[in-house]
Structure 1
Amino acid sequence: MEVKILFQSLLNSLVTFVFGFMSFIINGDRPLAKIPPVRNPLLLESASSLAKKIRSRKLKSLTIVEAYIDRIKEVNGLLNAMVSYRFSEARDEAQQIDEMLDSGQVPERYSEKNAPFLGVPLTVKEAFSVIDQPNTSGLINRKDIVCDRDAPVVDNLRRSGCIILGVTNVSELCMWYESANFVYGRSNNPYDIRRIVGGSSGGEGCILGAAGSVIGIGSDIGGSIRMPAFFNGVFGHKPSPGVVLNSGQFPPASKERSCMLGTGPMCRFAVDLDPMLRVMAGSYGLSKLRLDAPVDLRNLRFFSMGDDVRLNMASALDPELVEAQAQVRTYLQTKLGVTVQRLQLYRLKYTVDMWFSMMSTIDTESFTHMLGNNGPRVYPLWELLKRTVGLSSHTLPAIMLGLIEGLDKLIPERTQRLLAKLGKLREELENILGDDGVLIYPSHPKLAPFHNAPLLYPCNFAPTATFNMLSLPATQVPLGLSAQGLPLGIQVVANRYNDHLTLAVARELEKGFGGWAAPIGMGMYHEAIEHDTT
């Protein structure tokens, strides 16, 4: 075992050196650049706090909107997180809100109950339809599309008073965990621009982590909210299925795939998760949840898993992530006086196989069909040959996923066996968790990798994909920074429709571990953040 650990450590060091050196050769001294520190204290307050101050006239919406516009302009040249802006419209909307509040004549639709985020800035993953904004999902043949309506979840947040600043980068067709495409290019991590931001909601996680946004919309079919939230040091929640409408985004989700896809909130402060989820769910899904139920964390049953086993085809957990999970267990046991039980579910080792099998059996449009955007059929093998000479308009990860999709359908018997295992795993975990159980589980096997390194670890989305195929709610919680200054994090999971449990644990862990940490030092603002989140 010690020899195996030593070998893995040496391999990780070699990969880090090779991809770090590649980054230097390709980009020159650019990797040495760092984003400017956060200087404006308005950027260090939660959306909930800002909304209260706007309504009480302690702050003006326009002042806050201008602060975030300035921050985006300051950092986006290095990060390439925001891919389309609506700054002029945002300023006008903020000015109108300020004038309305100053007049004292506030219509009922803008009351605190109906518009809890009145005047607060919002960013949106580009895969969602936003009026007058692009909706390419990284596909070249959709680059001229401009939306004429909002997706339902965007409309809900706009009605809640949010002011949309623009849309953020994604991976091609939202099916890879590095946000890069031939429409907008590649996004860079605010903690180290040589590294990935995750995907597919990578631009969203990136601009949040850089303090260029305070709340945002993401979607997640294999970890596309939680991986970017982890790599960029923010909170991200994949809700229970059927709670938030998935319609109005591309690629679309239909039939069984809607149970795997979750549209949810991304933010820097845990206090914003609950009110965001309420608004995003609206009357459609809120009745399924118990967000008003009181939660006594001392009465919950806690479980921990995933830090001592290697999932099939995925990497073993980095030592710092193993230690972070151990610290979470210690904190919960010490602070709450609970016992954190260790779990071993052997069927989890088939996570990647089960996820691909579930995706391939769903009776809806194939990935390769969506690559063509309802045009001529895309042939992955032909695109792979074109890619070798730089002629394909599709990224290598998208091409490889198309090939895998085709191969998986060639073995239907294997698929059925895997789906049977999945059913037993789902039943087993649901019985263990009940309505008072919470699971602590890794968000990802590695700290934010260097650009292109995910090609060596294509199945490292397994820890997040697990809970898409099990249809369970999961919250990624930041746990501070590693020795290298990269974000640490953990997933908190509960049984279906027990989202209130994971959100309550997220708030507690934020108190214990500090939550989001600015990419360049906290300095004079650390006390302000601590006050705002407690």
Structure 2
Amino acid sequence: MAQSLGELFLVVVFKAVTGFLCLVFRLFAPQRSNLVGKKVPPVSDPLLLLSAKQLASKIRRKEVTSVEAVQAYIDRIQEVNPLLNAVIKDRFDAALQEAAMVDKLIEEETGGEEVLEDRLPLLGVPLSVKESYALQGMPYTGGLASRKDVVATVDAPPVAWLKRAGAIPMGVTNTAEMCMWSESHNRLHGITNNPYDLSRTAGGSSGGEGSLLGGAGAVIGVGSDIGGSIRIPSFFNGIFGHKPTPGVVTSEHQNPPTSGRQEEYISIGPMCRYAEDLLPMLKIMAGPNAHMLHLDTEVNLKKLRFFTIPHDGGSFLVNPVSKELIDIQKKVRPRGEVEEVHFPELRHSIQMWIAYMGLPDDNGKAPQSFAALIGEPGRPVKPLWELLKWMCGRSSHTFAAIGLTLLEIHSSKASPFIIEQKEKLQKAMEELLGSDGVFLYPTHPRVAPITHHPLFRPFDFAYTGVINILGLPATQCPLGLNEEGLPLGVQVVAGKLQDHLTLEVALYLEKAFGGWRKPEAI
């Protein structure tokens, strides 16, 4: 009874706050109807259609120079970025210089192609990086206006390791304001568009990465995920994205930093157009922790146990999963036997995410509030005052960020019921998966929505967020396009530290469903 009253109160608060915000937004937000149905231009350069693994091989064999590869991506970024607004700062001149050094190194190498492949597996391959992740000399703002002059003085470790493996960073990409929204929009750099339909969202918070990759402006990229920020933009933009088991890839030098127990739920991982690039990228990004995973273990799909969970059971805070996504998930049958399972606890996914994200650390220190994060370096933001400023065009924050601070006021502490539901779900998942099980689960209840429409259903990230709280690895895999030419997809989830299983399934799904599709192809 107490839980029913608690849910009723949450429904009333949710509907009141979101209803008010949506009304304000409809009255004051600009329209974008002129972008409906428009896509990025077709891909004309065949170099853009090679995986990073294929491109690196051609560069090592001198079939193509790194300068040619980098220039091809520069040309593509210059072609699509005015439409996408994905890259917020490039380093093209430096990238060309580094590519020339790669070509010189290859000319002088006497050890042969195998030596180069072992030492520098990504030699000469262009790379993009989410702007909230430190890339030396590049903006490091997290989309916060008060940080507009902040530049990274070091590389985040996984970025440094990718560079050490030979990758060449092309620039940094747009994010949500302080990485806490399902669209990549901030007052510093504007909003990022979807290459399959410019009127639709690219997702967040790694939406700049997703958009650039989906539009063939990059081949591999770096994203971060604490509630779906790799998987949702990967889904919306028709690419692969892997959220590793937490704690394997360090989040050092990421902005905003984690607090409370959030380090247990955040993951840094690879985003790419081709499934074969996921594993080598993850191996590099994990650095000294790569041994924690089983990335060199051969996986036999015939020996895996496959499960499918079609929906969360009907949360009142989340959109129902669309028929087209349920139907495409049913078509995923890696070995003909996929058992459908249901967990009633999933109905409370968003409450679990909110509760656990707010838990204090082992020393009793609570996580920093979002109002404090976006208020730096001053005092925490006052939501109602900031909303009034936004309506007058005077706020330095996005509508979504202000809305989150309003919702934050009404978020309650973790109830014993929600803690119990999470612990039951955790135990059930561990028993289900073991070391040889994977399950399919929707990445999002809808294909990429019209820009700003996530404001009307802010908790639709529950399908990815609950996987963060459970600490499980997950790979978002594209499953073709729908009748409107928008990407379909599914996330593949395995037990802790069993990342190699989902990566192997991603390779299978790429073959079965075609993987990334060019935006112009319907």
TM-score normalized with structure 2 length:
0.91
The CA deviation at 1:316 is: 0.6
1:123 is the counterpart of 2:125: no
Alignment of 1:126-141 (within 5 A): 126-141=131-146
Separation (CA, whole Å) in 2 of partners of 1:255 and 1:462? 20
CA deviations 1:263-283 (Å, max 9, x no partner) are 000000000000000000011
Structure 1 residue aligned with 2:465? 465
Structure 1 residue aligned with 2:512? 512
Is the Cα contact below 8 Å between 1:221 and 1:260 reproduced in 2?
A: yes
1:289 is the counterpart of 2:293: yes
CA deviations 1:372-397 (Å, max 9, x no partner) are 22322222232123222222211121
Q: Report the secondary structure of 2:251's partner residue.
A: coil
Gaps of 5+ in 2: 1-22, 361-365
Separation (CA, whole Å) in 2 of partners of 1:353 and 1:109? 51
Is the Cα contact below 8 Å between 1:312 and 1:352 reproduced in 2?
A: no
Write the letter of the residue equivalent to 2:195: P
Structure 2 residue aligned with 1:481? 481
Matched residue count:
493
1:321 is the counterpart of 2:325: yes
C-alpha spacing 1:389/1:416, structure 2 compared with 1 (3 Å): farther
Is the Cα contact below 8 Å between 2:312 and 2:463 reproduced in 1?
A: no
Alignment of 1:369-388 (within 5 A): 369-388=372-391
Write the letter of the residue equivalent to 2:345: R
Structure 2 residue aligned with 1:500? 500
Separation (CA, whole Å) in 2 of partners of 1:340 and 1:319? 19
Is the Cα contact below 8 Å between 2:313 and 2:344 reproduced in 1?
A: no
Structure 1 residue aligned with 2:209? 204
Structure 1 residue aligned with 2:368? 365
C-alpha spacing 1:148/1:199, structure 2 compared with 1 (3 Å): same
Separation (CA, whole Å) in 1 of partners of 2:112 and 2:132? 32
Alignment of 1:240-255 (within 5 A): 240-254=245-259
1:491 is the counterpart of 2:473: no
The CA deviation at 1:404 is: 2.4
C-alpha spacing 1:62/1:463, structure 2 compared with 1 (3 Å): same
Separation (CA, whole Å) in 2 of partners of 1:108 and 1:403? 57
C-alpha spacing 1:483/1:136, structure 2 compared with 1 (3 Å): same
Q: Report the secondary structure of 1:195's partner residue.
A: strand
Alignment of 1:41-60 (within 5 A): 41-60=46-65
CA deviations 1:319-377 (Å, max 9, x no partner) are 1111111111xx32xxx24x211111101100011111111223332222111223222
The Cα RMSD (Å) is 2.2
The CA deviation at 1:27 is: 4.1
Separation (CA, whole Å) in 1 of partners of 2:141 and 2:282? 25
Write the letter of the residue equivalent to 1:320: E
Gaps of 5+ in 1: 1-17, 523-534
CA deviations 1:81-129 (Å, max 9, x no partner) are 1110000000000001101111225799983223110100000000011
Write the letter of the residue equivalent to 1:190: P
Is the Cα contact below 8 Å between 1:123 and 1:215 reproduced in 2?
A: yes
Q: Which of 260, 269, 272 does residue 267 from structure 1 map onto? A: 272
Is the Cα contact below 8 Å between 2:358 and 2:367 reproduced in 1?
A: no
Q: Report the secondary structure of 2:117's partner residue.
A: coil
The CA deviation at 1:297 is: 0.5
Among the aligned pairs, what percent are the same residue? Answer: 48
Structure 2 residue aligned with 1:405? 408
- Which deviates the most, 96-105 or 176-185? 96-105
Separation (CA, whole Å) in 2 of partners of 1:50 and 1:70? 17
TM-score normalized with structure 1 length:
0.89
Structure 1 residue aligned with 2:19? none
CA deviations 1:183-216 (Å, max 9, x no partner) are 0001110000000000000010000000000000
C-alpha spacing 1:379/1:502, structure 2 compared with 1 (3 Å): same
Separation (CA, whole Å) in 1 of partners of 2:447 and 2:34? 22
1:169 is the counterpart of 2:171: no
- Which deviates the most, 103-112 or 184-193? 103-112
Structure 1 residue aligned with 2:85? 80
Separation (CA, whole Å) in 2 of partners of 1:396 and 1:505? 39
Structure 1 residue aligned with 2:521? 521
Write the letter of the residue equivalent to 1:347: E
Separation (CA, whole Å) in 2 of partners of 1:182 and 1:462? 26
- Which deviates the most, 339-348 or 211-220? 339-348
Q: Which of 210, 218, 221 does residue 223 from structure 2 map onto? A: 218
Structure 1 residue aligned with 2:439? 439
Write the letter of the residue equivalent to 2:449: P
Separation (CA, whole Å) in 2 of partners of 1:397 and 1:384? 10
The CA deviation at 1:512 is: 0.3
Is the Cα contact below 8 Å between 1:179 and 1:186 reproduced in 2?
A: yes
Separation (CA, whole Å) in 2 of partners of 1:306 and 1:367? 32
Is the Cα contact below 8 Å between 1:291 and 1:499 reproduced in 2?
A: yes
Write the letter of the residue equivalent to 1:356: I
The CA deviation at 1:30 is: 4.1
Write the letter of the residue equivalent to 1:64: A
Structure 2 residue aligned with 1:36? 41
Structure 2 residue aligned with 1:156? 161
Is the Cα contact below 8 Å between 2:441 and 2:490 reproduced in 1?
A: yes
Is the Cα contact below 8 Å between 1:307 and 1:325 reproduced in 2?
A: no
1:391 is the counterpart of 2:385: no
C-alpha spacing 1:442/1:30, structure 2 compared with 1 (3 Å): closer
Q: Which of 327, 350, 353 does residue 352 from structure 1 map onto? A: 350
C-alpha spacing 1:26/1:405, structure 2 compared with 1 (3 Å): closer
Separation (CA, whole Å) in 1 of partners of 2:512 and 2:417? 43
Write the letter of the residue equivalent to 1:274: L
Separation (CA, whole Å) in 2 of partners of 1:496 and 1:64? 37
The CA deviation at 1:25 is: 8.1
Structure 1 residue aligned with 2:9? none
